[in-house]
Amino acid sequence: MSDKHNAGDVPTTGHVWDDDLGDFTNQPPKWWMLGLTASAIWCVVYFLYYPSIPVSNANSFFKGIGGWTAISEMEADKSVVDEVRGKYEAKLKDMTPAAILADSELTEYVTRSGKVLFGDNCAACHGTNGVGAADQQGLIAPKLNDDDWLYGGKIEDIHTSIMGGRQAVMIAHKETLSAAEIDTLANAVAAGKPTSTPLFADKGCTACHGADGKGMQAMGSANLTDAIWRFDGSVEGIKYTIENGVNAGPGARVAVMPSFQAAGKLSDAEMKKLAVYVYKFGK
């Protein structure tokens, strides 16, 4: 395979530099020529066997003599996955989220499937693994991996929240309370003792947050005694919330969860999966 020659045995191209520097006319080594030829043959075979260049547009192309396409391979793989999923999907179709939880095998399947759904539809607001996402004002959306639930943490409550969304309203009090009253209430709430001031009852705070300040799940009103804050929990942050309210117009805190049922983005089965997945966060 070797084609070694002495310098004087091979003619040059005739060009000479620096008195004795010239270009030989040696042929490439045989192994190199064989490799080049094999590569060219391989390219032709590959071009003919697999889909290649478009013929007239993006949807019209030489399909190759092998009949293989990435789409056909994907569809074949998907059919295998769909066959495995089929028995579970058919089973959960008519089941409630609570019934799904009672079936350990189905719960395992739904939890794995729900993780993907959560990443695609919920993580943007609630954060990866339900840890919440925050900005300067506090949480953009609440944590889902603890036991603090504004609207209830039972599996049925979570399912209802996903289907119908949530949008409670706290009215702005900057026109109805004096600066001194707002300051007094904010300090009491920040200390976790909202009922320590008579203003809490006198100004109607108990109507939503309860006589004990622990909130009402039916209204989605916050527990003001547990030091868990959706928005800024500092005195200044609480004063801002009291003054401007929540979902109450310009300047108000924003706390809106869309209805996935109304949006039509998720199927009934997918909403059940999400409910089970979120419920399992704190378990």
Amino acid 39 reads: S
Specify whether the CB–CB gap between 113 and 273 falls below 8 A: yes
pTM: 0.73
How many Å separate Cα 85 from the centre of its chain? 22
Residue 3 has what pLDDT? 60
Pick the CATH number of 82-164+266-281 from 1.10.760.10, 3.90.1170.50, 3.30.70.100, 2.40.128.110: 1.10.760.10
Specify whether the CB–CB gap between 80 and 86 falls below 8 A: no
* Residue 47 tokens, joined: 């071009």
The C-alpha torsion from 108 through 110 and 115 to 120, rounded to 10°, is: 170
pLDDT in tens, 72-118: 899 999 999 999 899 999 999 899 999 999 999 999 999 999 999 99
At residue 60, φ and ψ (nearest 5 deg) are -125, 115
Range list of β-strands (E), 52-148 = 54-57, 60-61, 133-135, 138-141
Residue 7 has what pLDDT? 56
Please tell me what DSSP assigns to residue 194: G
How many Å separate Cα 190 from the centre of its chain? 33
Residue 135 has what pLDDT? 67
Question: What distance, in Å, lies between the first and last C-alpha atoms of the chain?
Answer: 71
> Measured on CA atoms in the order 72, 76, 81, 87, is the torsion positive or negative?
positive
User: Which ranges of the chain have pLDDT less than 70?
Assistant: 1-10, 58, 135-139, 283
Residue 161 has what pLDDT? 96
